[in-house]
Amino acid sequence: MRFETVLIVGGGLIGSSIARAVRAKGLCKTIYIADTSEAACKTITSLGIADGVADGPADHFAAQADLVILCTPSGRLATTAMALMSSMKSGAVLTDVGSVKGHFVEALSGHVRADIHFIPGHPIAGTENSGPEAGFPELFESRWCVLTPPEGVDAKAIEDLTAFWEGLGSDVEVMDPSRHDMVMATTSHLPHLIAYTLVGTAIDMETVTRKEVVKFSAGGFRDFTRIAASDPVMWRDVFLTNKTATLEVVDRFIEDLTALKRAIRWDDGDTLLDNFAKTRDIRRRILDADKD
């Protein structure tokens, strides 16, 4: 057992899934969950997925925890870390599950106690559902979890946290925070922004009713609505904290879309065909990667 006691701060989809998986796999002896929402805490208690639940300050839990995992929206990560830091045990590991890493690392820079192992993390896992009821123990199985340890962090602590995520069923990759943020801007943040925009555009059309949009959604639209149903607060925070990388990929996307729009206007079928043909290969590679 790498960590005897774990404190999960934020018991939503991700936090409650970690609690369920930790219990199912027997990874820790004691599981505490803290959440600022009283209603969420009631649900967590009735689900029976934690040994202790706090709907206010969680210092008493932090004092006992060998591992503290912050699962709040990205915008609250830094202040939550600061609030708990002074109560934490010497030698404990402090991590998070936020979708943006550079902003968090920078905000805590110079504020992390020397006797605490600070290793930011990001499991690439989720669903469009939110809240404690939405969690399930298999969420992290066969998923990547990226860790972005600052230079000089204790190797044993990284090894322990890696083993913890592997215990949840994930593959672990160590990356630099800024590289993580650019990769995620491309593979996750841009797709979410696009999906939110597309669904918004469709429901704002005066010439097409919402009833028609729902009725004929099987033509492609439907796939976007799943992503566009993701937690609004979490995603607001992602875009605001990963601003530079997001704006860069959005600009490129608009350029590329404008080029295709121009090809449509000028009946340039060859440009369309070239662009549409080159995207098939990536799908094949993703399906191949699934098999491995």
Binding residues for its own copies restricted to 33-92, rule: CB under 8 A: none
Q: How far is the CB of 263 from its own copies (least distance, A)?
A: 8
Residue 51, number of CB atoms within 10 A of its CB: 16
Assess 114 for contact with its own copies (CB under 8 A).
Answer: no
Q: Which is nearer to its own copies, 74 or 80 (CB)?
A: 74
Strands 144-147 and 121-123: antiparallel
Stretch that binds its own copies, among 1-9, 54-62, 139-147, 151-159 (CB under 8 A): 139-147
Long-range contacts of 57-64 (CB under 8 A, 24+ apart): 57/83, 58/7, 58/9, 58/32, 58/34, 58/84, 59/84, 59/87, 60/87, 61/7, 61/32, 61/34, 62/7, 62/87, 62/88, 62/89, 63/87, 63/88, 63/89, 64/5, 64/7, 64/30, 64/32, 64/89
- Residues binding its own copies: number (CB under 8 A): 92
Please give the full DSSP string across 133-155, using - where no structure is assigned.
GG--TTTTTT-EEEE-PPTT--H
Q: Which residue of 110, 155, 207, 291 would you call a contact of its own copies, by CB under 8 A?
A: 207
Q: Which is nearer to its own copies, 90 or 215 (CB)?
A: 215
Assess 153 for contact with its own copies (CB under 8 A).
Answer: no
Q: Which is nearer to its own copies, 39 or 247 (CB)?
A: 247
Stretch that binds its own copies, among 47-55, 84-92, 148-156, 279-287 (CB under 8 A): 279-287
Q: Which is nearer to its own copies, 158 or 183 (CB)?
A: 183
Q: How far is the CB of 95 from its own copies (least distance, A)?
A: 19
Stretch that binds its own copies, among 5-13, 30-38, 100-108, 232-240 (CB under 8 A): 232-240
C-alpha to C-alpha distance for 35 and 97, rounded to whole angstroms: 15
Q: Which residue of 89, 94, 289, 291 would you call a contact of its own copies, by CB under 8 A?
A: 289
C-alpha to C-alpha distance for 188 and 195, rounded to whole angstroms: 11
Q: How far is the CB of 240 from its own copies (least distance, A)?
A: 6
Assess 232 for contact with its own copies (CB under 8 A).
Answer: yes
Assess 265 for contact with its own copies (CB under 8 A).
Answer: yes
Q: 162 in helix, strand or coil?
A: helix
Q: Which is nearer to its own copies, 112 or 124 (CB)?
A: 124
Q: How far is the CB of 266 from its own copies (least distance, A)?
A: 10
Contacts of 46 (CB under 8 A, 6+ apart): none
Helix residue ranges, H only, 56-152: 59-62, 77-85, 102-108
Q: Residue 10's closest CA among 132, 148, 193?
A: 132
Q: Which residue of 110, 114, 282, 291 would you call a contact of its own copies, by CB under 8 A?
A: 282
Q: Which residue of 14, 21, 168, 199 would you call a contact of its own copies, by CB under 8 A?
A: 199
